[in-house]
Amino acid sequence: MASKKRVPVIAGNWKMFKNRDEALAFVFAVNDNMPKRKEVETVICAPAIHLSALVKRQGDNLRIGAQNMHFKDSGAFTGEISPLMLVDAGVSYCVIGHSERRQYFNETDETVNLKVKAAIAHDIIPILCVGESLSIREKGTTNRFVKKQILKAYEGIELEDALKVIVAYEPIWAIGTGVTATKEQANETIKGIRRVLAKLYQRVNANKMRILYGGSVNTNNIKELLGESDIDGALIGGASLKSDDFLKLVDAARK
């Protein structure tokens, strides 16, 4: 860890969990114990309906993120939320292209690319999710599959903006299953992602980009995952729902 120059990111993805009181209680419980942002960047990606309330109560070192957004500023898109609305609510991060959105809500590599661009245009930091299914992992084509996702997601994005993107490598078979990728599997795939980014933006720049791992990360396995050369933090679902556990996850990322 000590040799890594990149600031680690610990991001919780609450998915469709927590009512308003539970969400606020969590933020109150963790606020005062968050490390300085130069040490660890901490983010909670909450259900959209809670975002405004949470932003009002976020401490100096905790940021609130959304889990999805539309790529247009406004329009006749019933049920959608625009980047302008997120900015208006004080939201500064947004998960984009989560595998659950790709699987259940027809998110494609094309819409992911449009959303990454829209997020950057509005100063929202995209947490761009990529990752393969079990059958792709078993076929041995993970790197090729993830490369395609990355190439499309970054299409038309200049270096200056690419540096703002946080990538989250989340193998679908590891999400919510209790089956974590081994630290070697996670690190190797993330290294592959960094190689693709190095081809697009040069090695020196790719070395500055943060790439997280996600998929059954918990308080027991986070330390060894973060100990790997290329894993710069974690995007955490289930284990981010309890404030005590979130504090431990964040602690694991402190240098």
Binders in 132-191 for ligand 13P, by CB under 6 A? 170, 175-176
Closest approach of ligand 13P to the CB of residue 222, in Å: 10
Single out the segment in contact with ligand 13P by CB under 6 A; choices: 34-42, 154-162, 194-202, 209-217: 209-217
Single out the segment in contact with ligand 13P by CB under 6 A; choices: 114-122, 144-152, 189-197, 214-222: 214-222
Of 86 and 172, which has the nearer Cβ to ligand 13P?
A: 172
Residues with catalytic roles: 98, 170
- Look up residue 10 and give its amino acid: I
Cα(70)–Cα(153) distance, integer angstroms: 15
Helices (H), the chain: 20-30, 51-57, 83-88, 99-104, 109-121, 134-139, 142-153, 159-162, 183-201, 203-206, 222-226, 243-253
For residues 238 and 193, the answer to whether their CB atoms sit within 8 Å is: no
Is residue 97 at the binding interface for ligand 13P, with CB under 6 A as the rule? no
Closest CA to 165 of 119, 226, 232, 228: 119
Single out the segment in contact with ligand 13P by CB under 6 A; choices: 75-83, 85-93, 118-126, 215-223: 215-223
Closest approach of ligand 13P to the CB of residue 201, in Å: 25
Closest approach of ligand 13P to the CB of residue 216, in Å: 4
Cα(128)–Cα(115) distance, integer angstroms: 9
Binders in 99-138 for ligand 13P, by CB under 6 A? none
End-to-end CA distance of the chain: 7
The residues binding ligand 13P (CB under 6 A) are 13, 98, 170, 175-176, 214-217, 235-239
